[in-house]
Amino acid sequence: MTARPGARLVAAMFVPLTLLTLAACGGGGEDDPPAAISETTAPGSTEPAGTPACADAHHAVIVDFAGFLTDGTEGDMWGAWIAGDADPTPRAGTVDLTHVYRERGYEIVYVTTAPANLLIAGRPVPEAAGEWILANGYAWDEGATRVIGYNGTNGQGPDAVLSITSELVRLANDDGLSHDIGYTDNADKAHAMTAGGVPVQRLYMIGAEAGSEGTSAIPTDDIAAHIEQVVRPLAPVCTAG
């Protein structure tokens, strides 16, 4: 297992949840990149004119931890990790995906629905997932990236998935976070993300359920190609500094 980061960082990335009952929203979509803030570029600048400061504009990408960031089946991954036999393997392309979005000013919200009583080497899943994210080189900037988890104890039932929706609503209401884009391999989580504010046409999926719930499938699960075709062309959503 990886070494634990400082207590201040661990506290910053753990977000308690309050479960809410919310109606889901949906719709069709197509695999096109999100629109830029502005199509006009200021003279002498590579950034669109009128792009707000990152301190004032909070645009987020919601990324599912288990099954999207991690390679292999979720059941095998959790079993080996809980037993201490093996840490999850990062899925090819996902580290670069998070960094390319951060370079364009997007905040990253890593999501897990593992129950609070599930421990990895004695640590709650959001804490262990945060350590794994750091150890494997994913984008992490304190204040602009976070891990959200589920504080219930009833496994992967409806409440666990609903926790994604309720936490996204809380982040939008309390922190002004705009949930612009999402990634998952699970149709139930896709439904929860769209109910929490992620536009369905900007919710990208891999795996057997890709394209369900009106989402956009990443062809052949090729995340590297998706980065080049969809993510790199995006204009910055904010200006650093």
- Look at 13 and 155; give whichever has higher pLDDT: 155
Provide the pLDDT for residue 126: 87
User: Which whole number is the average pLDDT over 148-177?
Assistant: 85
Question: What percent of the chain shows pLDDT beyond 70?
Answer: 77
Task: Give 114-158 as a DSSP string.
Answer: --TT-EETTEEHHHHHHHHHHHTT----BTTEEEE-----STTSH
> Quick one: tokens of 146?
């976070």
pLDDT in tens, 78-129: 889 988 899 999 999 999 999 999 999 999 999 998 887 888 988 888 899 9
Which DSSP symbol is given to 213?
Answer: G
Beta strands (DSSP E) in 10-144 are 14-15, 59-64, 107-111, 119-120, 123-124
Provide the pLDDT for residue 34: 43
Strand partners, 62: 109, 182
Mean pLDDT is highest, among 12-16, 26-30, 133-137, 142-146, for 133-137
Provide the pLDDT for residue 114: 85
Q: What band does 44 get if pLDDT is binned at 50, 70 and 90?
A: very low
Contact 51, 38 (CB under 8 A): yes
User: Which whole number is the average pLDDT over 122-143?
Assistant: 91
Provide the pLDDT for residue 241: 63
Provide the pLDDT for residue 51: 83
pLDDT of residue 8 exceeding 70, the answer is: no
Q: CATH class for domain 7-16+50-231? A: alpha beta
Beta strands (DSSP E) in the chain are 14-15, 59-64, 107-111, 119-120, 123-124, 145-148, 178-184, 203-205, 216-217
pLDDT of residue 17 exceeding 50, the answer is: no
Provide the pLDDT for residue 154: 63
User: Which whole number is the average pLDDT over 39-61?
Assistant: 66
Residue 168 CA to residue 179 CA, distance in Å, equals 8
User: Which whole number is the average pLDDT over 13-26?
Assistant: 34
In this structure, what are the phi and psi dihedrals at residue 58, rounded to the nearest 5 degrees? -120, 90
pLDDT of residue 37 exceeding 70, the answer is: no
Pairing of strands 59-64, 107-111: parallel
